[in-house]
Each structure stands twice: as structure tokens, then as C-alpha cells.
Amino acid sequence: MFQVKQQTENQAYEAVIIGLFEGDDRSEAFRTVDDALEGQLQTLIDEGDVSSKKKTISKVHSLGKTNVKRYYFVGLGKQESCTTETMRQSLGKLFKTLKSAKLVHAAVLLDSFVTDKIDTLDVAHLFAETFALGTYELETYKTNKKERKELENITVISQEDSEELQAALTVGYVHGRATNSARTLVNLPPNKLTATDLANYAVQLAEKYDMDYKVLDKEEMEELGMGALLAVNQGSAEPPKMIALLYQGKEEWTDVIGFVGKGITYDTGGYSLKPREGMVGMKSDMGGAAAVLGAMEIIGELKPEQNVVAVIPATDNMVSGTAFKPDDVITSMSGKTIEVLNTDAEGRLALADGIAYAKKLGANYLVDVATLTGGVIVALGNHTTGVMTNNEAFFEKVLEAALETDEPMWQLPIFERDKERVRNSKFADLNNSPGRDGHAIMAGVFLGEFAEDTPWVHLDIAGTATSNGAHDLGPIGGTGVMVRTLATLVEYFGE
């Protein structure tokens, strides 16, 4: 996909890509192209036909003056204010443009994107990652689909050491592809992705990367006392699955990071039935599971020196004569009893057993990922993931990984009075829905009761797991949010 070179002399390309900062008319890349075009590039900039404003893409034909058919200039704004997020978005727009142009081969003058804060290897990672993200297309079931023409290879031209550059490109591309895998899972309709289908996908992933795995069926869950997940499954014709992937990057199974992803493949709300409008789109309620599986794909490809266990409690939440009901009291794997006040607060029940199982498998740190509450969308909107924790030091590591990948998050508080609300039941140890006020916080506090003293971070991706429209880094639908953050967290631990 990516071929690294250190010069462009006498090479013929369909297109050459150049980064352009404001006031960058003295850069080497600019001067080289301007000279080849006999000074016309500067004229085009002066007249506004080529722009250096961020997220602008300008195309210039060489008219036979060079071996390059056309040049694409990526506007990046002022160099001192250019961030990795700006560069990602600008490159995403570029790759959408190149895809529309149906190019097969292009070259990039990578050094033209380098700043004082973003070095060549960082640019290479961003470039390859964004190439995968920006060119992703929805998998649909339309019968009149057009044949796709893909950009088959890109020549990366830079003075940087070619081996290090190739490694950075590879890692970036792996991150982008795995995020796309998660997007595809989220976009699958619920009749195409049951708990069994999700388990089969996880097993294939484990076998591809030589990971250990466990898939518990209903009888095995009953033996382990997983009454919370089983309660959610009661109304379904589809059997539940408790899925676990185990990656061992160290000699001993110690210092294990545990990922727990909510795998509700469809959520009707159960007897606390969602309205019609609220039910459409609930195929994405397994976005946490998708994020965890995407992260495990990256881990399988890059093989960090870190132990990881990924756990996914999987089922749908349906209505039938056997479905669980408000007022039911259930017993979780941990032994804690739960009064069910809302069957639409089912994700936290499934995750409760998932967290307990991850701890049983040796997790010393826990990150749960879930499309958990509408409340987090009310609080933080559709671009910021809500976070809660019982351990600030561990949270700082997760936050550092999120900043690295430009996946914004914001911490919500846990106070003792919040814990008291979750523990306020006349019939059980806990209740699963203390009320609408502080809804997102109540869900996180509930999960914290099962994490107990294990360092734990809760990521509520209800607002960020999907996009309602096309954007610079992808189409409508699943975003694959937190795939790269989770994988980067593991890389930090493995260093």
C-alpha cells in the first residue's frame, strides 16, 4: 500500500500531494513545484485559486510541464496552530477527494506536512491512519451497488529513515483498518449480528492472531451464577454468549488490562419499551463490544508486550412472555443482588457480569466501554465520550491515550451520595435505575459497585459511537470510537 522513497526526480505520477501552511511560500516543496510550473503556483495562491486555509483541498493541473499529471494542495492553516486533529480532518477531506477522483496511484511529499510539534513519524502515522478512515465506505445490501475503484498504492517521499517511516505508516494503517472493522460491526443490522454471530467473529479474530478465547453458553453462565446477563436474555429467542479473548504479551499472566465491551446486539428496552423513534438505530447498542474487538485486532497485529483480556457479554433485549420485568430481583455473578426498576437499563446489568468475569480471568485494571445512557448525550453532546473512574492515576493513562488519538472525553464525578442512590433498594443490594436526574452518573456508579477496588475507568460512548451524517473521517453510521484509544493505552503499558 505504501512505498517509501527519498526523491521524486523523473517519476511520473497521477497526482502528488503537498501540505500547504499559511505563509508557506518559501518551503522547499512549494519552491520546487512553483519552479516546475514556471511561477504559476504563486500566482494561483495570490489570486485565491489555491488556498492554505485549513481543511481546503486545491487541485492544480501541470498541463504537461512536469511528469506529474496534477497536484493536490492540502490547506493546513497556520503552522503554529496546526494540531493532529486539524491534520486528521484535512487529510480525511483529501482522501475523500482522491476517492471521488478515482485515482489509482498517488505520491505525497510527506515532509511538507511536518511542523515543530508534529514530526515526520507522527505525520506518517496520521497519514496512513486517515487514509484508512477517510476512504471507508458503508457495507450495504443494495442490489445496484457500483463497482468501487480504490486508490491502490501511495508513494511516500521523505528524507526520514525509511525503516522507521515504514513502521509508522504500518502502525497508522493498522489503527485505521481496525477502527473500520468496528464501524462495520456497528453498522450490521441486528438480524445479521446476533450474540452467536458476534461470538463467531471474536473466535475468528482470536484464531487469526493466536489468542486464547472462551465463549460461555447459557448453561455455563448458569453454573457461574451470571444472573444479570441471563435476566437480560430471558425474553430472547437468541442464546446469550459471554465472550473472552486473552492476549498474553508477557511471560507471566500478571499486570492484566481488562476491556469489557457492552454487546447488546439489539435493545427494544424490554417491558420498559422504547418509543418507535428511540428504537431505530439500536443495532448500534453493541458499539462497546465493537470497540473492544477493534482494539484486540490492533493488539493482534502489533503484538505489544502487555497482557490483555477482553470480555463481551452479548445478548439482545427483547419482549416476550419470558422476559424479565420491572420489580424483578436478580443475583449477579459477584453475588450482589439487584432490584430491576427499568428493563431498559439492561446494559449495566450485562456489564456487571462482564466486569466480574474479567476479574475472574485475572484483570488487574478495567476499562468498560458502552453505549450506556442517553443522559451522557444530554450532558456532553455527540462528540465527547463521558468518563468515570475510581482511580485517578489509571484515568490519567486513559486520558493520555485519548489525547494521542484525538478522541475527546470528559470526566463525570462520583460522590458518596451517588453511591447511596444506587444502593437504595428495600429488596436488594442495588437498584439498576435510581431516576432520570444524573442518569449517566448513576449508570457509571452502578458499574463501579462491581469494579470495587480494581482500578477502573468507565467510557460511555452513547453519543460518540455513531454519526448522524458523513464527516471528514468517514460516512454516516458507526465511528469505531475508542478503538484507537484502547489500543494506545495498551501500547503505553507495554513500553
Q: Is the pLDDT of residue 151 over 90?
A: no
Whole-angstrom Cα Rg for the chain = 25
- Looking at residue 63, what is its pLDDT? 84
- Picking from 157, 173, 201, the residue at the C-terminal end of a domain is 157
- Looking at residue 20, what is its pLDDT? 93
User: Domain containing 463 — which CATH number?
Assistant: 3.40.630.10
Q: What is the pLDDT of residues 374-389, one digit of tens each?
A: 999 999 999 999 999 9
User: Domain containing 145 — which CATH number?
Assistant: 3.40.220.10
Residue with cell 482511580: 391
**Spatial CA neighbour of 189 closest among 265, 263, 274, 292:** 265
Q: Which of 59, 70, 78, 274 is catalytic?
A: 274
Alpha carbons 411 and 413: distance in angstroms, whole number: 7
DSSP code string of 286-298: GHHHHHHHHHHHH
Considering the domain architecture, whether residues 427 and 463 belong to the same structural domain is answered as yes
- Looking at residue 26, what is its pLDDT? 56
Range of the domain at 16: 2-157
Considering the domain architecture, whether residues 264 and 330 belong to the same structural domain is answered as yes
C-alpha cell of 178?
481496525
**Spatial CA neighbour of 457 closest among 171, 257, 245, 251:** 257
The answer to whether 75 and 58 have CB atoms below 8 angstroms apart is yes
The answer to whether 382 and 408 have CB atoms below 8 angstroms apart is no
Report pTM. 0.96
Residue 478 is assigned to a structural domain of this protein: yes
Residue 173 is assigned to a structural domain of this protein: no
Q: 2 to each of 5, 123, 128, 167, 377, how far by Cα in Å?
A: 10, 14, 8, 11, 39
Considering the domain architecture, whether residues 342 and 446 belong to the same structural domain is answered as yes
44, burial (CB in 10 Å: exposed 0-12, middle 13-18, buried 19+): middle
Residue 83 is assigned to a structural domain of this protein: yes
C-alpha cell of 245?
479473548
Considering the domain architecture, whether residues 133 and 19 belong to the same structural domain is answered as yes
Please work out, in degrees rounded to the nearest 5, the angle formed at the alpha carbon of residue 24 by the alpha carbons of 19 and 29.
55
**Spatial CA neighbour of 263 closest among 224, 297, 311, 308:** 311
Considering the domain architecture, whether residues 292 and 418 belong to the same structural domain is answered as yes
Q: What is the pLDDT of residues 311-349, one digit of tens each?
A: 999 999 999 999 999 999 999 999 999 999 999 999 999
The helix (H) or strand (E) run that includes residue 4 is strand 2-5
Considering the domain architecture, whether residues 405 and 366 belong to the same structural domain is answered as yes
Least reliable range by pLDDT among 11-25, 108-122, 254-268: 11-25
Considering the domain architecture, whether residues 317 and 450 belong to the same structural domain is answered as yes
**Spatial CA neighbour of 493 closest among 272, 254, 282, 257:** 257
Verify whether residue 146 is a known catalytic residue.
Answer: no
Q: Which of 99, 241, 336, 348 is catalytic?
A: 348
Question: How would residue 27 be classed by pLDDT, with cut points 50, 70 and 90?
Answer: confident
**Spatial CA neighbour of 220 closest among 200, 239, 246:** 239
Q: What is the mean pLDDT of the chain?
A: 95
C-alpha cell of 356?
466480574
- Looking at residue 327, what is its pLDDT? 98
- Picking from 87, 122, 157, the residue at the C-terminal end of a domain is 157
Q: What is the pLDDT of residues 459-480, one digit of tens each?
A: 999 999 999 999 999 999 999 9
Q: What is the pLDDT of residues 157-203, one digit of tens each?
A: 998 888 999 999 999 999 999 999 999 999 999 999 999 999 999 99
Residue 170 is assigned to a structural domain of this protein: no
Considering the domain architecture, whether residues 142 and 48 belong to the same structural domain is answered as yes
53 φ, ψ (degrees, to nearest 5): -65, 145
- Picking from 125, 141, 157, the residue at the C-terminal end of a domain is 157
Q: Is the pLDDT of residue 9 over 70?
A: no
Considering the domain architecture, whether residues 216 and 96 belong to the same structural domain is answered as no
Q: Is the pLDDT of residue 35 over 90?
A: no
The helix (H) or strand (E) run that includes residue 205 is helix 195-208
Considering the domain architecture, whether residues 136 and 186 belong to the same structural domain is answered as no
Residue 169 is assigned to a structural domain of this protein: no
- Looking at residue 277, what is its pLDDT? 92
Considering the domain architecture, whether residues 289 and 341 belong to the same structural domain is answered as yes
Residue 164 is assigned to a structural domain of this protein: no
Q: Is the pLDDT of residue 408 over 60?
A: yes
DSSP code string of 238-253: SPPEEEEEEE--SSSS
Residue 165 is assigned to a structural domain of this protein: no
- Looking at residue 43, what is its pLDDT? 87
**Spatial CA neighbour of 488 closest among 398, 409, 410:** 398
Q: Is the pLDDT of residue 205 over 90?
A: yes
Considering the domain architecture, whether residues 292 and 422 belong to the same structural domain is answered as yes
Residue 377 is assigned to a structural domain of this protein: yes
CA-CA-CA-CA dihedral for 375, 378, 383, 386, to nearest 10: -40
Verify whether residue 348 is a known catalytic residue.
Answer: yes
The answer to whether 262 and 459 have CB atoms below 8 angstroms apart is no
Q: What is the pLDDT of residues 412-444, one digit of tens each?
A: 999 999 999 999 999 999 999 999 999 999 999
Domain count, the chain: 2
25 φ, ψ (degrees, to nearest 5): -75, 5
326, burial (CB in 10 Å: exposed 0-12, middle 13-18, buried 19+): middle
**42 against 169, higher pLDDT:** 169
